[in-house]
């Protein structure tokens, strides 16, 4: 019995050591998903060769990739994103409470000179910049605590969205190569969104600016670069300088949203009509006035099916959507910007 028992113990210990040596990627209930260490090493070798071919320096590759291990928590977060939905009003109550409106006004006043300079040079009103800043990171307070290279490498290795995150990972290495931030200081969300504006690496490469002129685009620490980069993103995507995002509108008296939507037949961002047509269908501003006409066709959006609230949508709303493709997010940015600007 003794040799048999010993063999069982030795086998168990070897199994434990083998599992401990394998990088853990995700957890599905009680079942741990493991990854072959050889596959991880091969992935890093291939990645390193691709990055080097793109011109990334060897010292950057060594500092960023040597000894790199995947992060189990990142995969857990990616695979376990909540499936439940909340109403637009519930979302708005969470994202744009009164205390955030009050703080946004204070932050705008504190940074007025810098924000005015960004607005003058780039052409995006400061209340929209502050609204994005507030909703994304609570004005720079919550920017994420994950090492961006490690998080993106984990996601690029995983099968689910490997191509997307590999592109982001290579862009992050490019940012390091250009000297905008040190590898140890490149932190962000579990999905790789970085700094006070939460720019993904490809967006950083495409839109970030060195607004303070120090030779680096530092969206982690420089508010000048944060504000300038946010404004440049919106402007590059087509922001119309002298225009707002839209207006809350009132449905015809006696009609709830569902009945009116059925009557009108076509609603949503894919449908555009001249303002005169919406006016003829009984739509008015929330206070009862005539609809403003920007001179082009516009849409009407109900954030929830059958919701009572409705919004007349201008082109700048669509530009905010390019930042984050969520109607609720874009509406929250627009409404917070309006609240900041309100007397």
pLDDT of residue 76: 87
DSSP string of 36-105?
-HHHHHHHHHHHHHHHHHTT--HHHHHHHHTT----HHHHHHHHT-------HHHHHHHHS-HHHHHHHH
The reply to whether 114 falls in a domain is no
The reply to whether 319 falls in a domain is no
Question: 37 lies in which domain range?
Answer: 22-76
pLDDT of residue 21: 38
Q: Average pLDDT over the chain, rounded to whole?
A: 87
Local structure of 25: helix, strand or coil: strand
pLDDT beyond 50 at 4 = no
The reply to whether 331 falls in a domain is no
For residue 250, what are the β-bridge partners?
Answer: 284
Phi-psi region of 57 (alpha: psi -120 to 50; beta: other; left: phi over 0): beta
Count structural domains, the chain: 2
Token representation of residue 255:
């009609």
The reply to whether 177 falls in a domain is no
Confidence of residue 23 (pLDDT cuts 50, 70, 90): very low
The reply to whether 125 falls in a domain is no
pLDDT beyond 50 at 91 = yes
pLDDT tens, 157-176? 998 899 999 999 999 999 99
Confidence of residue 257 (pLDDT cuts 50, 70, 90): low
pLDDT beyond 70 at 25 = no
The reply to whether 55 falls in a domain is yes
The reply to whether 67 falls in a domain is yes
pLDDT tens, 38-84? 999 999 999 999 999 999 999 999 999 999 999 989 988 888 766 66
pLDDT tens, 191-202? 999 999 999 999
Q: If we measure between CA atoms, which residue out of 223, 219, 178 comes closest to residue 200? A: 219
pLDDT beyond 50 at 1 = no
Confidence of residue 255 (pLDDT cuts 50, 70, 90): low
pLDDT of residue 35: 66
The reply to whether 128 falls in a domain is no
pLDDT of residue 122: 98
pLDDT of residue 33: 46
pLDDT tens, 34-43? 667 899 999 9
């Amino acid at each position: 019995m003794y040799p048999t028992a010993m063999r069982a113990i030795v086998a168990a210990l070897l199994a434990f050591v083998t599992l401990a040596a394998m990088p853990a990627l995700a957890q599905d209930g009680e079942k741990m998903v493991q990854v072959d260490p050889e596959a991880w090493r091969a992935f890093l070798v291939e990645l390193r060769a691709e990055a080097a071919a793109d011109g990334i320096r060897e010292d950057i590759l060594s500092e960023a990739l040597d000894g790199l291990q995947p992060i189990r928590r990142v995969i857990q977060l990616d695979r376990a994103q909540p499936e439940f939905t909340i109403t637009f009003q519930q979302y708005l109550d969470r994202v744009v409470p009164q205390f955030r409106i009050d703080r946004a006004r204070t932050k705008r006043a504190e940074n007025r000179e810098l924000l005015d300079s960004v607005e003058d040079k780039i052409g995006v009103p400061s209340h929209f910049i502050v609204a994005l800043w507030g909703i994304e990171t609570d004005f720079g307070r919550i920017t994420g605590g994950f090492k961006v290279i490690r998080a993106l490498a984990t996601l690029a290795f995983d099968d689910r969205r490997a191509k997307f995150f590999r592109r982001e990972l290579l862009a992050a290495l490019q940012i390091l190569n250009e000297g905008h931030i040190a590898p140890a200081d490149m932190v962000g969300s579990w999905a790789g969104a970085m700094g006070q504006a939460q720019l993904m690496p490809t967006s950083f490469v495409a839109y970030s600016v060195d607004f303070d002129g120090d030779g680096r685009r530092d969206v982690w620490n420089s508010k000048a670069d944060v504000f300038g980069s946010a404004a440049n993103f919106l402007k590059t995507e087509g922001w119309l300088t002298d225009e707002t995002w839209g207006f809350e509108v009132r449905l015809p008296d006696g009609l709830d949203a569902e009945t009116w939507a059925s009557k009108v037949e076509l609603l949503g961002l894919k449908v555009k009509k001249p303002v005169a047509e919406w006016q003829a269908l009984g739509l008015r501003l929330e206070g009862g006035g005539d609809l403003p006409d920007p001179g082009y066709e516009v849409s009407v959006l109900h954030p929830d099916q059958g919701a009572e609230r409705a919004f007349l949508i201008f082109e700048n709303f669509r530009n905010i959507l390019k930042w984050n493709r969520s109607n609720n997010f874009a509406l929250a940015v627009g409404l917070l910007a309006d609240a900041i600007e309100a007397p």
